[in-house]
Structure 1
């Protein structure tokens, strides 16, 4: 396993922990009627942690912060829409538990993010020694 993939898994796990903890707290406070609000707000919490760790530690980007944030935000917006649709399907017609549905959605989204982030979002530093 490459060092970058390992860092991606650690940072992703950290962001996922923040996102899931926020979801559990929001869902408990707001109730099931506010499922999409809990999903969306918790997703934003994970987004902040994920962007900062991916940019600074995983990909060690040297690109413009604002440009990368915009690209990351577009990917996140697509993920949020897909995640909300998926969680609605899982909890609604498929009657999956809210907490299990959230975990499933998070795993699926994480699976496609590594390639997108490494190829489309973060500019890699060039090692001047090679």
Structure 2
């Protein structure tokens, strides 16, 4: 997805809350399929089932996904799964302030160095 796609997602984030952040997001599915059609179908099917579990709301799941990205640090940057997860969280109603607070919280459990770079990447994604 391009930077303009991310800007559009951020604009629409206030009004686009999905019941299932994977199965209801056609742009996400198309982006996954553009990597590889079989990969996209597999991700949509498996992640869609996980995101469809009923007890944890979509916004919380999206914030958990970002926390996992902070810990893993293998795919953080514009155009990465991290960027898609930031936008997914915002589509589900998370605010920039909540994501920044999550990064601060993650300093304690993932390490300051892992969280530090995420602030810069967040700025790149949202500005």
Which has a greater percent of helix?
1
**TM-score category (smaller protein):** 0.3 to 0.5
TM-score scaled to structure 1, two decimals? 0.34
User: Rg larger in 1 or in 2?
Assistant: 1
